[in-house]
């Protein structure tokens, strides 16, 4: 009996799940169909709105061609209010032309900014500048009627604009020349400073070298054949000593003491306040290292044992 009850419960559960699944699918399909219907309705409305705007704009063009400005403005105003139309820009563009053709200030600004040849032609009684040609005789004639009395004002403003442009160009030219001169001066000063610093550094090297050589030449026996000095970074002074053959004939402990002494002389000259910043490098006539300061400090002296 218990098994039968369990089988019944399981069966009912499966039936319930199956029904719920079918219901979910049905609801999903209904929702998708509703969305598609709404999309199509919206697309249809937009297409109809665009067609309405196109018709109204075309009728407005016909009215403008016929010189019926009030009718054209009414049609364009109606077109601009059509909802969901993506082509209302054409209506706005025509409306803007109508407004500009009746705007005295806009007409004057167009005369002032017109190319020289177009303005000269209009001033002499010829065709208006391109900005005043609206493509419809009624609009162009209205703009020209506003433009003719403003020619003298346009001449004055054009001359003033030209003077200002020339003054601005001259100011820019002077500023550019001053900037170039300042950059050149800065470069020259930098080069001079670098040259002076290099000369000072070379003088410092030469001074230390001369003083060190004087000490070495006074020593007995004379173990050093030549010396070169260089600066490593901002802190280290290194003297490279090329020793004579007599160096190799001396006992290891004596050579180490010689190296220690030569380092002390060099430290007292190169870096008396920070002796470890003074390093020596001892090489033979073939350039082989045979002694000197170790990497960790100038006072850490080594010499080749053999």
Mean pLDDT per 10-residue section of the chain, whose length is 306 residues: 57 60 84 82 83 92 93 92 86 94 96 96 95 94 96 96 95 96 96 93 90 91 93 91 94 95 94 93 95 88 90
Q: What's the rounded Cα separation, in Å, for the pair 271 and 137?
A: 94
Neighbours of 80 (CB within 10 A): 17
| pLDDT (tens digit per residue) in 169-183 | 999 999 999 999 999
Q: What is the pLDDT of residue 66?
A: 94
Residues 76-132: tens digit of each pLDDT: 999 988 887 888 888 999 999 999 999 999 999 999 999 999 999 999 999 999 999
Q: How far apart are CA 223 and CA 251, in angstroms?
A: 13
> Burial letters for 83-121: b for 16+ Cβ neighbours within 10 Å, e otherwise?
eebebbebbeebbebbebbeeeebbbebbbebeeebbee
């Amino acid at each position: 009996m218990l098994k039968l009850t369990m089988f019944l419960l399981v069966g009912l559960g499966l039936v319930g799940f199956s029904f719920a699944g079918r219901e979910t699918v049905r609801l999903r399909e209904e929702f998708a169909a509703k969305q598609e219907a709404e999309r199509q309705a919206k697309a249809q409305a937009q297409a109809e709105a665009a067609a309405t705007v196109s018709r109204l704009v075309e009728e407005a063009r016909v009215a403008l061609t016929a010189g019926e400005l009030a009718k054209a403005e009414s049609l364009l105003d109606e077109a601009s209010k059509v909802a969901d139309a993506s082509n209302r820009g054409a209506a706005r563009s025509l409306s803007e032309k109508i407004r500009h053709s009746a705007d005295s200030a806009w007409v004057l600004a167009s005369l002032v900014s017109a190319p020289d040849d177009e303005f000269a032609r209009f001033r002499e009684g010829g065709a208006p500048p391109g900005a005043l040609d609206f493509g419809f005789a009624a609009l162009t004639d209205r703009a020209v009627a506003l433009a003719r009395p403003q020619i003298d004002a346009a001449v004055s403003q054009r001359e003033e604009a030209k003077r200002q442009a020339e003054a601005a160009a001259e100011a820019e030219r002077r500023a550019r020349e001053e900037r170039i001169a300042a950059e050149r001066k800065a470069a020259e000063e930098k080069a001079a400073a670098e040259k002076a610093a290099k000369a000072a550094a070379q003088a410092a090297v030469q001074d230390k070298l001369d003083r060190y050589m004087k000490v070495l030449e006074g020593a007995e026996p004379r173990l050093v054949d030549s010396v070169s000095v260089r600066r490593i970074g901002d802190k280290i002074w290194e003297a490279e000593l090329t020793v004579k053959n007599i160096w190799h004939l001396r006992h290891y402990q004596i050579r180490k003491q010689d190296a220690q002494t030569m380092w002390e002389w060099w430290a007292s000259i190169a870096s008396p306040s920070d002796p470890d910043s003074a390093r020596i490098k001892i090489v033979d006539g073939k350039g082989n290292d045979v002694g000197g300061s170790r990497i960790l400090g100038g006072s850490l002296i080594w010499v080749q044992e053999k």
